[in-house]
Structure formats: structure tokens, C-alpha cells
Amino acid sequence: MDNFRFYVPTDIRFGKDRLATELTDVLNVYGKNVLLVYGGGSIKKNGLYDQVIDLFEKNQNTVVELSGVEPNPRVETVRQGIELCRENQVDVILAVGGGSTIDCAKVVAAGFYSDKDVWDLVLEKGYGGKALPLVTVLTLAATGSEMNAGAVISNLTTNQKLGMGGPSMIPKVSFLDPQNTFTVPKNQTAAGSADILSHLFENYFRQTTGTDVQDFVSEGLMRTVIKNCPIAIETPNDYDARANLMWASSLALNGLTGSGKGGTWSCHAMEHELSAFYDITHGVGLAILTPRWMNYVLSDQTVDKFAQFAKDVWGITEEDKMKAAKQGIQATYDFFKSCGIPMTLPEVGINEDKFVEMATQAVAHSTIKTDAYVPLAESDVEAIYRECLTESIFV
């Protein structure tokens, strides 16, 4: 296990109906002028927007809104948010939504204090400056952005989707009420669960050995998602299923499963190019790529970890390690498909036209060529993309 720092200061307010009695007290710690950030309007349909506005009125807050944050938040929207904060002397940002909304709000919070264009901040990746305080109300279990320092922003002009982050960007307080996810559609529930699983997979399949704590926690969280995603899809208002998915989302990417493990992620680097060029749903892209990546990097050198994954996550009892590993990969593929996720690139409107360009950028914008669980050159990434063109069988 490598040396690490585990710094997660977010105050989590988990459970039913806490917003009404706690939100205004939380915001008052930071000031009265609020930037309200949200996405495409689902919070207006489910009543959450009216609830928040009513609380603002009773608390005599001054509110300015940044609405319409995209599923892959765009740098132009971030710039708009920064200007709103400066023009209205905003004290605190309230992000109500899923990971995209929260990511956008994080970079707005950082960009407020910078003289640089915000895309230059994104290109620098690591941010060490100040940020406006951020409070979040989570409405989708997926990215874990409610409890970490990272954010991912898209620039469609340059076909880039890149991550950045810093300690000051960690949310101060996050409200996690599973009831706020009851109205999430089946396809978004599935895609969000795929995102959670991918975060766990990426941390699980890393180069560092001797990380039993991280790996065993990851396995338990994987089983939690595998159990509860189908329940939430079938019965959207099942509180326990939604609660377990929501908490798994936070724990998957707050550092708990990845700290002390070296190396870089593989599938996210490849998927970011799919989203950058085609603006597809992030979790769907990850679900399509992951089983193909697993099969591509399976070898005599990696089989032990994949066999452990098959046994401890999927309950596979096959004694031959290679057979067990392939059964685990097949189970992963079958699970995503059973949740209604499209499992080929043509199903989401992607053909092979830009594979070479995307593979080149996936390597250029990451360290997967040197630091991944199994290093991937441009030709490897292109080959994995090609495997995603048709339905797959791994056993």
C-alpha cells in the first residue's frame, strides 16, 4: 500500500426531509447572496425547486440562478456562472442536481477567484487556490461529486472533456435525501449505477498490491450496486434501494477505495473521448467500454485479480482461474445489458470514423500509456473501441 492523505471534510446530511430544517442554517454560515445552480429542469417537475426557493424567501436570501447545466457540463456554462457570481457578489453556491451540476458549480467556485480563463484552469488539472463555498443537494446517485474535490468539464469546440480539482473545491455540506432520486428515470438510474461501478472498478484494478482494505470495501460496494440497481429500476420509490445506491456513490469516489493505490484509470480516459466527440451519457459509455477493456487486459499476469473479482463480487465458483475470470467479465456485461443499457457503440450513434483521433487523444490527455493497470497505447485503445461495435461474448 502506498502513502496517502485522506482528506474528506464534507459535512454529509443523509436522510429524509432534512432540507426544510437545515438548509438555511447551513447557508447562513457563508452569507446571504446565493448562486443556485441546476440542470435541465427536473427539479422544477419534482417540486424541489419550489421548496428551495421558498426556503430562500423565508430566509431573505438574494438569489441568482444558473440553470440549464448540460449532462456533460460545458465550459461556456461555467464562464456564465463565474460572471453571475462576480456581478452579484455571491457568497455561497448551492448546486441542486447530479454530478454534472455539482461539477459545474465546483469550477465556477474556483474560477471566481482566478484571473485566468477557466479553461486554462481545467487544462492545469490541479487547483491550489481559493474557491467560493459550495453546498450541494444531490438528486442522482452516480458521480460521487458531492463528496470529493474533482470536476469534469467539456469543451466541444476542441473536442475535449477533462478533469480538474483541488481541496478548496470539496463541497462544504451535502444533503443526501434518497427521496430526491425517486423520480430519476430508469435509464438514468442504470447509467448512474454503471458510473458508480466504474469508479469502483477503476480503483480496484490498479497496480498497487497489498490493499486489502480498499479492495474488500470496493467489493462490498460493488455487490451493493449490483443488488440495488435492479430494485430501483423496478420499484423507483424503494427507499432502501435508493439510499444504498446514493451512499455507494459517495463512498466509491471520496478516496476511500482509491487512496494508497498508485496508477491511473483506464476506462474513464477512453470514455471521456466518446463524450467529448459525441456528447453521450457518461455512464453508458463506461458500461459499453468496461467489459471489453476487462477482456482485453486479461492475461496470465492479471488473471488472479480478475478471478478474485469473479468470486468475491459475482459469486462464481469455477476453480480454473482463467475460466472464472471470463465468467466474471461476462457477468459484468450481462448485468449492464439487463439494466437496459445499450451495449454497443452503434446503439448510441458512434461508428469507427473517429476511433484513431479519439484513441490518440485518450492517450495524450492521460497517463494510460505508462501508469494504467495494463498500459494502453493508441493502438490498444483503438482495438478496444472496435470491440464495442458489436455484441460480445467472453466465455
Q: What is the CATH number of the domain that holds 332?
A: 1.20.1090.10
Q: Is the pLDDT of residue 342 over 90?
A: yes
Q: Is the pLDDT of residue 259 over 90?
A: yes
The per-residue DSSP string of 21-67 comes to HHHHHHHHTT-SEEEEE--SSHHHHSSHHHHHHHHHHHHT-EEEEE-
For residues 45 and 64, membership in a common domain is answered with: yes
Domains identified in the chain, total number: 2
For residues 133 and 219, membership in a common domain is answered with: no
Average pLDDT across the chain, whole number: 96
Where does a domain end: 120, 153, 181?
Answer: 181
Which residue range is the domain that position 377 belongs to?
186-387
Mean pLDDT of 76-97: 97
Can you tell me the distance from the alpha carbon of 290 to that of 298, in angstroms, rounded to the nearest whole number?
A: 12
Residues 6+ apart with CB under 8 A from 93: 34, 35, 37, 85, 105, 108, 109, 132, 133, 134, 135
Where does a domain end: 136, 157, 181?
Answer: 181
| Interval 279-316: pLDDT, tens | 899 999 999 999 999 999 999 999 999 999 999 999 99
Q: Is the pLDDT of residue 45 over 90?
A: no
Which pTM was predicted?
0.94
Query: How many CB atoms neighbour CB 239 within 10 A?
Result: 15
pLDDT score recorded for residue 46? 87
Can you tell me the distance from the alpha carbon of 153 to that of 158, in angstroms, rounded to the nearest whole number?
A: 12
For residues 210 and 321, membership in a common domain is answered with: yes
pLDDT score recorded for residue 323? 98
Residue written as cell 420499484? 235
Q: Is the pLDDT of residue 144 over 90?
A: yes
